Amino acid sequence: MGAWGVGLYSGDFALDLRAVVAAVARVPLDEDAMVQALCDTEASAAENPTDEDHAVFWLVLADQFEKRGIFSARVRDMALAVIDGGEDAAMMQKLGMKAPDLRKRAAKLTELRARLVAQAAASKPRTTMKAPVPYVFDVGGVYAYPTLGGEVINPYFGPKRFDRAAWHPDGFGLMLVIGRGSAFGYLPWYRALVSREAFPSIPDRSALAGENRWSLPVHGTCDPAHFRRLEFAAAGVFPVDPARVDHFFPHLAPGTAYAVNGISIANRMRITSRPEPGRHWRRPDGRLERIVYPQRPTIAQLMGSSD
């Protein structure tokens, strides 16, 4: 990957991890549970000293915890060990960082070390979520939504910014939910297929099982307010088989990043017939390999009732 900046947040991994820490800080977990949740999210970086992101993982956690007034002896001690042992410097040098930049980065870590040593050994009160965000979609559910020229309602616009009376849809898209999960038990995400064409009206449930003009899986979040603004209408729920989903759509990753960053599934609901970009998965040896998908399935095939 290579090192391309002296700052702690000069790389994508550190920036992404900062967002994850911000999300975990909203969840009512104690300090030990927070750290474990973060370690579970990036298991290799957290536990494997040979992982190129290992040092950055603990440095980012320590920096973010200190700035947010969250104290964890485990995080502080791991970060101090990384700094004092020269682990970060060794990895940055291995990734190609030159001597002048190594010195600049060392100065920044010296400042971080001073803050960690001076940090109070008790967390400050923080504002957290009162309850998990409820699920709004059922797995196996088909949901229709209005479209205009393939575009959907922008759920971030409230009544003052979006004149619904002046927006006249010309069709309906369909979304089939094939999976869902919850980051840290509080922040839901969804995995879905989107129809490749808009329909003049919402199809009957009996006609849906044969519908096979679907996209590749997309991910995103959808809270109750966005669900209402997108004007979803349930068209039917089907007992899709997770094993069949895995067969037709292998190497699916969880949608944790979408939940953590609040990326709405509305961003992927546009109806388009444009060719879809190829997708890849990272092999255990680190190499990227293009995914070759079987022919797109019908709902009946995802239920296991048709081959």
Low-confidence ranges of the chain (pLDDT < 50): 1-2
Q: What is the 3-state secondary structure (H, E, C) of the chain?
A: CCCCCCCCCCCHHHHHHHHHHHHHHHCCCCHHHHHHHHHHHCHHHHHCCCCCCHHHHHHHHHHHHHHHCCCCHHHHHHHHHHHHCCHHHHHHHHCCCCHHHHHHHHHHHHHHHHHHHHCCCCCCCCCCCCCCCCCCCCCCEEEEEEEECCECCCCCCCCCCCCHHHCCCCEEEEEEEEEEEEECCCEEEEEEEEECCCECCCCCHHHHCCCCCECCCEEEECCHHHHHHCCCEEEEECCCCHHHHHHHCCCCCCCHHHHHHCCEHHHHCCCCCCCCCCCEEECCCCCEEECCCCCCCCHHHHHCCCC
- Model pLDDT, residue 274: 81
Q: Which residues contact 92 (CB under 8 A, 6 or more apart)?
A: 3, 101, 102, 105
- Model pLDDT, residue 1: 44
- Model pLDDT, residue 261: 87
Which two three-digit tokens encode residue 262? 């609040």
Q: Are 180 and 135 contacting, i.e. CB atoms less than 8 angstroms apart?
A: yes
- Model pLDDT, residue 244: 95
Q: Which residues contact 40 (CB under 8 A, 6 or more apart)?
A: none
- Model pLDDT, residue 277: 80
Which two three-digit tokens encode residue 294? 């079987």
